[in-house]
Structure formats: structure tokens, C-alpha cells
Structure 1
Amino acid sequence: MRKPISRQEAERRLQIIFPRAAFDSVLSSPLAGMAVAALIHVDAVCSAGDKPEAVHWARPSTVIWMSDEALSRTTEADRLALRAAAAKGSKHVEALHKSWGVNFQPAYKDNSRETLRDETFRKWREHGALRMRPGLATSSSLPRWALFDDFADLFDPDLDGDAFQQAADQWREKHLDPGARLKALFALGTEAAQHAVTVNLPNGTTRTLEPGDSSLIVKGVVETWAPTRLAQPVVLAISEPGVKVHIGDEQMLQALGIKIDIANVLPDVVIADIGTEPVQFWIIEAVATDGPVSTERRKALLAWAAQQNIKADRCSFLTAFLSRNASAAKRRLKDLASGTWAWYADEPGNELAWYKLMPDADDL
């Protein structure tokens, strides 16, 4: 059986697959989230090529009778017992709950069945997410619904982050018509823009970063730390996870002879202080989870700087955290390389320095 998923997480993913700005909300409602969780829980999942008699079909009532207690029981034995009880009727589901020593408290009332069947299931079927058992009369009470396996794959708990987003994009590309795909992409883009982090650069231009703590740290570094700490800061580049690199001042990059290549070991932010003589380059890591300027990371960044013809004595290093109370700061402050600085976005007026009071013989 597939790994179970909570109804809340199923609903969250449905809202990404079928963004509400582009699709009817019944496709991604709390009831729809429960439907995904329930159908996966009882293994009502199939492929287009499966013979009907080999599929574990489910009724809308399988969803309506599902409880949080039942979803919390994730052993195969409990899930099979629930599937068998739901196939027989609500009294059997209630009896199963009593055998577990709990009261039967279904998440939805029976009158929700029509909404699920006539709206959510119908639209899912239109979009290729749900299969209806062939050969049954409309009046038949036999179970007839199962998720298609490629749709159920999107709710694998191990599929998350960028991998989930890519899988959702591929599923829409395969199953939705061009108009529906365009509406989905536009809605997702609009939503992302609403939550994006806009960074105002010293030269008056802006860069839009993906939402998240790392972007908030970068914003603090560029907009608060740099103007306070440096004489005349120029943001040369900001990098994000993956292959996203935002060029800061392109003319300054050309003047300094620096080429930003995503194949290199890029720091999160590169800022030049052109108000000093010679120009000083600040190489900055924004640490929301991991990746401070450790000794090894400092060596790698210096190697990167050397490729740009930047001398080591013109490089300064900053590790920026969200807060002293952030778990990343608590875990990684001890890993800072000697000769570097640290800064907290929620205490912008302060800075930590870590350096050797007495240089080693190797440093002389």
C-alpha cells in the first residue's frame, strides 16, 4: 500500500495542482483533501490498464465516513480493516472504531456525499485524476471510484519541494488542455509574485526572490547591513537554489572583469565596496538552514574569487542568519571560519567578528 498522507497536506498539494485562481475550489477544498487522503489510505488507486476486477474501488461514503482516528492508524492491517468495513456500511466502520477503543467521529456528514460525487469527483474525472469503474449502472450501489496512479503519485509524502512542483507541472502538461494549463501557470505565477521577496539594490533597481527565510536574510543584508557597514556598496550578484542567479550591477561587473557563471561555487551574495581603496569584495552566505562560511567553505569561496582575479586580501566574508534564536544560528555559529563576520537580520545594528588574536606561524 502507498504511504498515507494527511488530509491537510493533501489539500495543500491540491491547491498547487489546481490553484483556486484558475480552477473551481471544489477541486482543492478540505473535502477534496480528505478524499485524496482517504482513497490513498484504503488503496483505491489504479492505472488505466488495470482490469476492473483487480482494482480496489471506493464509494464517496468511504471518504465521508473517514475519521482523523482512522487516518492516524497507518499499519496495513488497520487500513485493510477500514477498507473492508467501509465496503459493508457505516455500522461496520463504527464497530471498527469501537474495537479500537474510540468513538466513531466521521469528519463529514452524510449530506456531503453529493458534493463530493457530483462536483469534486466529476471534475477530477474530467481532468484525468480519477477513474470510474466501467459497466456499472448509474443506480448501482457498488463502489466505482479510484485515483489514477500518476495522480496519486503527486501525494507521495517523500515527494516535496521542487521535485513535487516539477511533478505537478508534468502532470498538468499531460492531462490538462492548453487553456487550462495556461490558466494554472498564470495563477501560480500571480500567487508566487504575491509572496515573493523584493530586494531593493543600492543602484535603485530591484530583484524579486522566491519566498522564504533565505530571501528575507538576503533582503536584510542588501537593504540594511550593506548601507550601514560599507562605504559605497554595489551588489554584483545574488544566487538562489538551483540555477537562479540575479545579476546586480551589470556595468560594474564588466568594469571589474568579473563573470558570473552558475557552474562555479557561487556564494549567496557578492557585494563590492567601491568606496574603499582598493575595492573590497564581501562574499556573503545567507543561512536559513545550513551553509555558513566554514573553514572549508571559505577555501572554496576564495578559489572562486581567484577565478575572478580577485585577490584573497581583498575578500571579506559574512555569514548572515535570521536570528540568534534561529536553529541554524544555534547549530552553525560554532562552525564559522576564523577571519569572518556574522550578522543577524533581526538585530541589524550589531555584528559579530571571529578572528585570531595571535596569528599562527602559518599565517605570518
Structure 2
Amino acid sequence: MSLPPLLSWQDIHGRLPTIFPEGSANRDHSIWEISAKTMFVMIYAGAIEGTDLWIRPDQVTRMTTAQSEQTEDNARLAWAKDSIRPSKADVPGRWYAVNTRESIRDDTIRYALIVNGAVIERPGLATTSPAGRYALQGDFAALMAPDLDEATFTAKAAAWREKHLNKGALARIAIVRKGAAGGGEYELVTFPNGETRRMSTGASADISKAVIEVFAPKFLQKPGVIALSESGNKVVARDDELAKAIGLTIPADKSLPDIVLVDLGPAHPLLVFVEVVHTDGPVNEARKTALLQISEGAGFPPEHVAFVTAYLDRGGQPFRKTVSSLAWGSYAWFASEPDCLIAFSGKPLPIEGG
């Protein structure tokens, strides 16, 4: 049989960030070196949808650089047949240690490449079967053709995403791309009461806009904006009348966070402090304590105060960088996944000891 032409794993690696742009689910594990080498092994062994050829994760660990350079069909087929047999024999120069096969199977194949539609799993195969069970999805494999020029590849990658990623995934990618690209001269933000304000463009402004226009009406009954600031503590808007009506004094030193929201729906209004994080500055324990002092001074007990750190995307570096410092009892919200909140609960689980 004729096997598909080979693209080096290095070139596969170079194409993956274009196929899976910022905002893609589990992007890090979809575009890292292990992913590229896993795809290379699938192509090397002919494991592509429709061929009924499949690989096991341990075959990725058993590939070597010397073997990868043997590109004739006979050499590839012989390796595929030999490498799928269970063996404890040492493989000099193997790409990965034996004990990495579970990580390749779970982190790379199951939770990244299958989730993103790049890899398919053999149907009807018992969990304990030693047979190969993974192959590249057919249209995705076509993106790895060596003869694609850059423009053609980029167009085909976009077409593949439109066809094979779900609407939620595509929306998330679009939102993240918009946040990274910025807009025109200014960002126009519409408040819950219909008023508009101008902000400087940029990722932080995009997140702030999403907080006011999407987060506030989605999670608050009757939202209002008390204060909105930009990077550098430039005050875009502050509603002193609304603040006065609920007994809140806005400090002159601008120690409030990027956004202060209020929910006037409950019998006792809910005060919501929001920090917008594009690079740094989440609601950590110290920040939470300082904000509690402001809210308590206005007569808001802790149970009527909420703390939110807003990000562009859960897979982005800002969240990964700051997640370990987020305060217990606060929330994280992502503009790319607007329907969900992550709660960092400071309360114990309701489990009684036996």
C-alpha cells in the first residue's frame, strides 16, 4: 500500500499554532512538541482516517530520529508492524521514556487532539485491547501535506476550523483574536442604563467592555456601574449619585479596582469589585482585604460583596500566571467563555466525618 507523504515533525510543529489559534481548547497541549511528534508517528505509520491503520501511544515513545529519517514505504510499514507489538526491549535513542505513554495518551491525545477534532479513536475497541486505537482525522491530515505553500495552508486551516470545530469553540477563538488585535481609536462601552463611554483600545478595554455589557446583565439582576477605570487609574466614569444612594464613598486616592458594579435587584444591594487582568493585578488576598475595608465602611457586610477577576481567556498566560494568587472567596470570569464562572470557595465541603 502507498503511505502519505511525510512532513517533518518540526514542520508539523510550526503549523500547529496556525491551526489552533489563541482561544482553542487545551491549546498548549495541542501545539507543543509532543503533539507534533504524535502526529508525525500517525502519518509515518499511515494511521489516517479511512485507512483502518491505527497507533498506540507507546509507539510515539519508541520512535527515534534515525527511524524517522527512513522514509521509504517498506521501512515505515515494517516499523509500524514491529513497534505495535508489546515489547520490553530497549530502544536506543527513543524519543520518550516508556512511562510517558500515559501522558501522551491523556494530556495530548484524549484531552487535546481528540477534543479539538484532530484525532479520531477506533470504535468498538475494548479498553484493555493492545491494538492501535488512534489515527489522524482525514481533513486534518491533509493540512500536513508537505507541498502546501503558506497561503494555501492558512486558508485550508481556516476552512478546517469552520467545518470541524463547534460554534462555541469558534466563538471563543474569535473573541480572543479580537482582544489580541484591538480596535480603532477608542472602545465604546454601553452601560446597563444605556449611557455610553469611550475607552482607549486594547485587550484590557475589551475585557472591561465584556464585563459591563456581558457579565453584568448575565449574572446580576439589576446591574449598575459605579466606577470604570482604565490602565493607569484613568477614571472613565464614576457615578457618585448611585454610590451615594447605596452609601458607598469612592476614595479620592483611586484605590478602587478597575470596575465597581452594583446589583440593585436584591433587597440588600450586592457590591461587585472587578479587577481586569491582561497582564497582572488580580484580586488576591491583600487586595480583597483592602476592598472589604472600603465596603464595610459603606455598610456592606462581606456577604453582600463579591470579588471578580476578569480575563480574556482561560487558556491565556495572564490566567495561568495569576491563578495561584487569586483570593479564596472570589471568582474568575473569562470573556471568551461568558456563561461560566470559576468560584474559589473558601468554605469546606459539606462532608460529615464518619
Taking structure 2 as the reference length, the TM-score comes to 0.45
Greater per-residue helix proportion: 1
Q: Structure with the greater relative contact order (CA < 8 A, sep ≥ 6): 1 or 2? A: 2
- Normalising by structure 1, report the TM-score: 0.44
From the CA coordinates, give the structure whose radius of gyration is larger. 1
